[in-house]
Structure 1
Amino acid sequence: MTEPDGRVNPLRRPENRFHAAPALQCTCGGDCQKCHIAVDNTEPCYEIFQEVMKDLGALQEAGLFAVAHGPSRCGKTSLLNRCATSAARALNAQGVQAREISLAHVGQSPDLTTKQRVVMVGRRLAIEAAKTQDVFDSGRYTAPADSGDEPPTLEEYMRAVGDAVLDGHVLIVRTPRAEQATEVAQYWSGTSRKLLIFAETTAVNLPHIPEQPVGEAHPLRLNLGILKRGDVAEFARSRIHVPGCGRTFPDLDIGALETFYGDPPMVTIGAVQKLLYNIYEHYLHNPWPDGNIIRAEDLWRYVRENPEGQEG
């Protein structure tokens, strides 16, 4: 048995946000295709996005709004990370220069209203865009003016920013995570030329997001959900069967993992990721299970002893 100092967690989370792999560590060492398991609609959504990206040059005339929606921890952020990386590469291949602006952490105070948050997003977008002097022409930017007691709207900020982006350039913008469909609708309504807007929400229905292009913006819905029969095992095998199994970390009874979640599993990919990561982190500092293999009873024991750390 490996001594505690020699143990590793095979599911370390990468810190590189440009890494195309899902939230847990890629083990294939290549283009990560083997790591992107086709759970739920993840792969179909990614393929749809890539198909849309073939005409990304059209962002010069019409912007694109892509929203990933589904339950908590279903893989929305991981999907959008992949899409953003793919978009930047596709744009560069078309001779269009892309710059990313993340507004994901803007307006996170619980005391803010949706209206206040989206206005903050608009203001911050203008500030961050102005820092990209190779993309943004400040001389072409006309700051939206207050209308009486009302501040400028998010739509006004976004259109003003889009107008000031240089030809042959595009801004890839990540909005804050939205809880309400009405907030997502405001990010959609503000999308304009030369802007690729990525949003994510736990809202299931998005009645204000059309199916077809409207004005200067094209909408794209990426709907994610829970895992299907067999997805848990497929995902676990891609993560656990790596060099060092049984020596630097205990093996996993994948059949027991499926039993643990039930049939059908009724769980999100993020919940499975979190459990696998946490239980291997647990065995970095505690005695290994009997037989050096993690079975269903070990999973249940861990969850009972650590109820606060579980989701799904």
Structure 2
Amino acid sequence: MDRTETAFEEFVAEMADMVTLLRDGRLVLVTGETGCGKSALVNRCADWVVQQMTERGTGCEVLDLTAALNGLPEDSIDNRMSAVCDQLFVELTRRQLMRADAVTALEPHREVPRRVYPHLPEATPRPTVLVILLPTCELADEVIRYASLARGRILFFIESPFMQANDVRHIVESMERWGSPITLSVGELEEGDVRRFASDRLKRHAEKGEYPKMTEDTMESLTGLSTSVSELQRVFHGVYEELLGSNDWPAEVSFEDVVKFRFRRVSRGQGIDHEP
């Protein structure tokens, strides 16, 4: 859905035999509107890398720093990168992914990206690929700076709901002499996505007992009503939760049930995007 399968295939093709990752490091930038599946794609790609490395007998660790800037005020690129670098040092130390001598050497520079990232490949007790999930980014220059810090066995992932095609083009052109980053994009729901989503969710719960199925007309109508996976998830979850809490358990979920659910949420001032 949302071009995520195509994007995943592009990622696998770009990574090829992992030679570039192991020798030079890589950065992956995933762009697309909010709620269209960027995080799901990043997690799938990261899991694939872990599996590939495991099969090769190489260590691989995923470090999720996506929340490293939560609660911090809007700040400069330097301060953002310093805060993330410090959190990375904390995670590496907590999980004992650095040798004791490396911890001692890097401790004074734990907030200085250019003094930490280049030394990480040699800091691990054994050859280990570090998959680093970075916070959401809106500035091309920040992505470029992270890409320039990549070293062998370091794989950065960055999501951005803000960047347009010209921003991505600028990043790729700026990084040509170092090696282009992998750029993936996901978009709004396409024809057939709602039906695939509904069929998958209903099939997953087939063994749980009897519950209302969704009519063909409802799935067809939802195609034009929901524009992202997250919105579709909220609508499905909300409609079924409301039906579950009612005394009138229908045989099928109609499009009218969906419309009534959306109307009630708007009437309560929660809006369509409010989590049920």
TM-score above 0.5, yes or no: yes
Which residue is 1:11 aligned to? none
Q: CA deviation at 1:154?
A: 2.9
- One-letter amino acid of the structure 1 residue matched with residue 239 of structure 2: I
Counterparts of 1:47-196 in structure 2, within 5 Å, are 47-115=9-77, 116-133=79-96, 135-140=97-102, 142-143=105-106, 153-166=112-125, 168-196=127-155
Q: Is 2:36–2:187's contact at 8 Å kept on the other side of the alignment?
A: yes
Q: Is 2:102–2:123's contact at 8 Å kept on the other side of the alignment?
A: yes
Counterparts of 1:9-28 in structure 2, within 5 Å, are none
CA distance in 2, matches of 1:243, 1:73: 23
Matched residue SS, 1:256: helix
Aligned positions, number: 265
Q: CA deviation at 1:298?
A: 0.8
Return closer, same or farther for 1:245/1:288 CA change in 2, 3 Å cut-off. farther
Return closer, same or farther for 1:242/1:101 CA change in 2, 3 Å cut-off. closer
CA distance in 2, matches of 1:185, 1:294: 48
Matched residue SS, 1:157: helix
Note the aligned Cα RMSD (angstroms): 2.9
Q: Which moved more, 1:238-247 or 1:95-104?
A: 238-247
Q: CA deviation at 1:40?
A: 2.9
CA distance in 2, matches of 1:201, 1:86: 21
Q: CA deviation at 1:242?
A: 4.9
Identity between Structure 1 and Structure 2 (%)? 23
Which residue is 1:297 aligned to? 256
Q: CA deviation at 1:309?
A: 5.2
**Pick aligned residue for 1:279 from 228, 239, 242:** 239
**Pick aligned residue for 2:162 from 180, 203, 216:** 203
Matched residue SS, 1:143: helix
Which residue is 1:8 aligned to? none
Which residue is 1:22 aligned to? none
Which residue is 1:3 aligned to? none
Q: CA deviation at 1:171?
A: 0.9
Higher helix fraction (1 or 2): 2
Q: CA deviation at 1:220?
A: 0.7
Return closer, same or farther for 1:309/1:277 CA change in 2, 3 Å cut-off. farther
TM-score scaled to structure 1, two decimals? 0.74
Q: CA deviation at 1:163?
A: 4.0
CA distance in 1, matches of 2:143, 2:239: 35
CA distance in 2, matches of 1:84, 1:267: 26
Q: Is 2:86–2:111's contact at 8 Å kept on the other side of the alignment?
A: no
CA distance in 2, matches of 1:186, 1:162: 18
Q: Is 2:60–2:131's contact at 8 Å kept on the other side of the alignment?
A: yes
**Deviation per residue, 1:109-139 (Å, 9 max, x gap):** 2524143222110112122223444x42342
Which residue is 1:230 aligned to? 192
Return closer, same or farther for 1:155/1:71 CA change in 2, 3 Å cut-off. farther
Q: CA deviation at 1:274?
A: 2.0
CA distance in 2, matches of 1:309, 1:248: 30
- One-letter amino acid of the structure 2 residue matched with residue 164 of structure 1: A
Q: Is 1:158–1:192's contact at 8 Å kept on the other side of the alignment?
A: yes
Q: Is 2:239–2:257's contact at 8 Å kept on the other side of the alignment?
A: no
Which residue is 1:219 aligned to? 181
CA distance in 2, matches of 1:68, 1:96: 26
**Deviation per residue, 1:22-48 (Å, 9 max, x gap):** xxxxxxxxxxxxxxxxx2321111112
Q: CA deviation at 1:193?
A: 2.0
CA distance in 2, matches of 1:57, 1:273: 38
Return closer, same or farther for 1:218/1:164 CA change in 2, 3 Å cut-off. farther
Q: Is 1:173–1:196's contact at 8 Å kept on the other side of the alignment?
A: yes
Return closer, same or farther for 1:104/1:242 CA change in 2, 3 Å cut-off. closer
Q: For structure 2, which runs of at least 5 residues remain unmatched after alignment?
A: none
